[in-house]
Amino acid sequence: MSELHTKTLSEIAALLKSGEVKVAEVVADCLARIEATEPRVKALITVMAEEAMAQAKAMDAAGPDPDKPLWGVPMVLKDLLTLKGVKTTCGSKILEDFVPFYDATAVTRLKDAGAVFVGKANMDEFAMGSSTENSAFFMTANPWDVDRVPGGSSGGSGATVAAGQCFAALGTDTGGSIRTPSSFCGIVGLKPTYGRISRFGLIAYGSSLDQIGPMVRSVEDAALLLQVMAGHDPKDSTSVDVPVPDYLAALGREDLDGVTIGLPEEYWGEGLDEEVKEACANAVAEMEKLGAKTVPVKLALTEYAIATYYIIAMAEASSNLSRFDGVRFGYRNKKADELIDMYTASRTEGFGDEVQRRIIMGTYVLSSGYYDAYYNKAAKVRRLLRQDFEKAFAQCDLIAGPVCPTTAFVKGAKADPLQMYLLDIFTISANLAGIPAMSLPVGLGKDSSMPVGLQFMGAPFSEPTMLGVAECLERHLDPMPMPEL
Ligand code: GLN
């Protein structure tokens, strides 16, 4: 096996474009890496070895296309993004054999830019979870320590990128599912502003919260992928018609003079593990050295964020998942005689425990008599939370804090669902507010020796500022090594 897989996406794209390496070599290297590491990491539900090799050879025969920024670059998709003709399971038994007949818009854009897909990544069933332990198929391991979880719900995407099986993966983030696994696996993950990337072809969990985003090994790679995927799509009415700026042009700043970073006390106090706090605080100190000013900001409603998020996300999930009835999609119980029994049996056998728990709770908060007390109340708190952010961003350019209160934990350590939900405390507010947020690896925790991610949050469409600041900080931190596998 060569060392090609240790390069970043931007580096490999340049080598491919210049003809210095062939697509077939790069794809073969990734496939060899998959073969060598998958028995331990188990990041992928589907490996597309033959398709990828055939595509690579055809591309090499045609020669590099300078207009395609991702020409020949091997990538992986979270298994809830539709890829025409390839099984898309959502990590669920109910969609075990579902083969979509269309591509997600984000996928079309990556294809048009020249990407080669080598696999589809494991995930918590229907993206419900923070550890990838809720997959119906198997658990994924953290490449830094295979006894630990990779984070979730895009844990397969995080692990495949950290393990060097590909150069980038797409994840989705409804309440932290890009940022948590990025933090746990030591990679860069970006959840863009709601509406920035089309959700067409993303199998919905919480439609008002879901966003697709890149999971990669450098900030530059994140900027490049955002550039390719961002932009209005008539197939998604919530995708916004706001001009797409030049994200790569925002990179390369010399220092952080003139940048104000807000530090919310709610994110830096109680409940935060000491090693996470220390690694994040060191990164903030580095930003100060680079000229950034820090100011305290208040996000007073943070303590209500978990309750608000879980009411809204479960309500939306109960409605979105009603389409999986055994008739139109996926698994069907063939023994039931009556239609209603067929629905019940198909859904009972097809959905896992966590998904059923959420459908039941989501249906409850939407039912008459409880709608006002729960759903409507949560919707109001959500608006207030958004206003909190607006006030904070009047005082600062970006907010910085930890992604997660802990580093990656040992599998099985958060068996109580509530303990798992509490991990989302720092990530879910960005989804409720619709603002962009990212995880930047800032080193290893001194106790667990596991990666720590620093989170940036910004006002809507502030991705250029966020990427610019993150890339400057990234350049001044010790480079993040790849895990030894
Ligand atoms: N952990 C959160 C949940 O289970 C977030 C998941 C996500 O972002 N998809 O809902």
Q: Which atom of ligand 1 is nearest to the CA of 309?
A: 10
CA of 176 to the centre of ligand 1 (A): 6
Q: Per-residue pLDDT averaged across 102-118, rounded?
A: 98
Structural domain boundaries enclosing 85: 1-485
Q: Distance, CA 8 to ligand 1 centroid (Å)?
A: 27
Q: Mean pLDDT, to the nearest integer, of 293-314?
A: 97
* pLDDT value of residue 44: 98
Q: Residue 57 sits in a domain of what CATH number?
A: 3.90.1300.10
Using the atom order of ligand 1, give the atom closest to the CA of residue 205: 9
Q: How far is residue 130's CA from residue 105's CA, in Å, rounded to a whole number?
A: 26
Per-residue pLDDT tens for 19-75?
Answer: 999 999 999 999 999 999 999 999 999 999 999 999 999 999 999 999 999 999 999
Exposure string over 16-54, b if 16+ CB within 10 A, otherwise e:
bbeeebbbbbbbbbbbebbebbbeebbbbbbbbbeebbe
Rounded to the nearest angstrom, the distance between the alpha carbon of 206 and the centre of ligand 1 is 9
Burial category of 415 from C-beta neighbours within 10 Å (exposed 0-12, middle 13-18, buried 19 and up): exposed
Over residues 210-232, the pLDDT tens digits come to 999 999 999 999 999 999 999 99
Check if 132 has its Cβ closer than 6 Å to any atom of ligand 1: no
Distance, in Å, from the CA atom of 79 to the CA atom of 77, rounded to the nearest integer, reads 6
Q: How far is the CA of 257 from the centre of ligand 1 (A)?
A: 35
Q: Is the CB of 355 under 6 A from ligand 1?
A: no
Q: How far is the CA of 400 from the centre of ligand 1 (A)?
A: 21
The distance of Cα 353 from the centroid of its chain, to the nearest Å, equals 23
CA dihedral 305, 306, 308, 312 (to 10 degrees): 130
Q: Which helix (H) or strand (E) holds 361?
A: helix 353-366
Where do we find the tokens 């390069």?
Answer: 7
> Is residue 424 lining ligand 1, measured as CB closer than 6 Å?
yes
pLDDT for 484 beyond 70: yes
Atom index in ligand 1 nearest the CA of residue 206 equals 9
Which pLDDT tens digit goes with each residue over 415-439? 999 999 999 999 999 999 999 999 9
Expressed in angstroms and rounded, the spacing between residue 383 Cα and the centre of ligand 1 is: 20
pLDDT at 2: 74
Average pLDDT over residues 369-382: 96
State which of 78, 128, 403, 421 you would mutate to test the pocket of ligand 1, scoring each by most atoms of that ligand within 8 A of its C-beta: 128
Cα of 420 vs centre of ligand 1, distance in Å, is: 10
Which atom of ligand 1 lies closest to the CA of 128? 4
- Whether 127 is in the pocket of ligand 1, judged by its Cβ within 6 Å, is yes
Which residue, judged by its Cα, is nearest atom 10 of ligand 1?
Answer: 128
pLDDT confidence of 1, banded at 50, 70, 90? low
pLDDT tens per residue across span 198-215: 999 999 999 999 999 999
pLDDT at residue 435, rounded to an integer: 98
Q: Of all atoms in ligand 1, which is nearest to the CA of residue 129?
A: 4
In this prediction, residue 270 carries a pLDDT of 85
pLDDT of 77 above 90: yes
Q: Which residues contact 334 (CB under 8 A, 6 or more apart)?
A: none
pLDDT tens figures, 160-194: 999 999 999 999 999 999 999 999 999 999 999 99
Cα–Cα distance between 483 and 485 in angstroms, integer? 6
pLDDT of residue 329: 84
Residues designated as active site: 78, 153, 177
Give the closest residue (by CA) to ligand 1 atom 5. 175
Ligand 1 within 6 A of CB of 454: no
212 alpha carbon – ligand 1 mean position (Å): 13
With a pLDDT cut of 90, the percent of the chain lying above it is 98
Asked whether 128 lines ligand 1 (CB < 6 A), one says yes
Question: Is the Cβ atom of 462 under 6 angstroms away from ligand 1?
Answer: no
Q: Report whether residue 313 contacts ligand 1, using a CB cutoff of 6 Å.
A: yes
**% of residues, the chain, pLDDT over 70:** 100
Position 326 confidence tier, pLDDT thresholds 50, 70, 90: very high
Q: Is the pTM of this model over 0.85?
A: yes
Count of structural domains, the chain: 1
Task: Write down the mean pLDDT value for the chain.
Answer: 97
Tell me, using a 6 A CB cutoff, whether residue 153 lines ligand 1. yes
Q: Which atom of ligand 1 is nearest to the CA of 313?
A: 10
For residue 461, CA distances in Å to 36, 241, 340, 388, 477 come to: 40, 12, 46, 17, 26
Average pLDDT over residues 146-151: 98
- Model confidence over 245-281: pLDDT tens digits? 999 999 999 999 999 999 999 999 988 999 999 999 9
Pocket lining: 211 vs ligand 1, CB cutoff 6 Å: no
164 lines ligand 1 (CB under 6 A): no
Q: What angle do CA 324, 326, 331 make, to 5 degrees?
A: 95
Q: Rg (Cα) of the chain, in Å, rounded?
A: 21
Which residues, 6+ apart, have CB-to-CB distance to 224 below 8 Å? 9, 10, 13, 69, 70, 247, 248
Instruction: Answer whether residue 3 shows pLDDT above 90.
Output: no
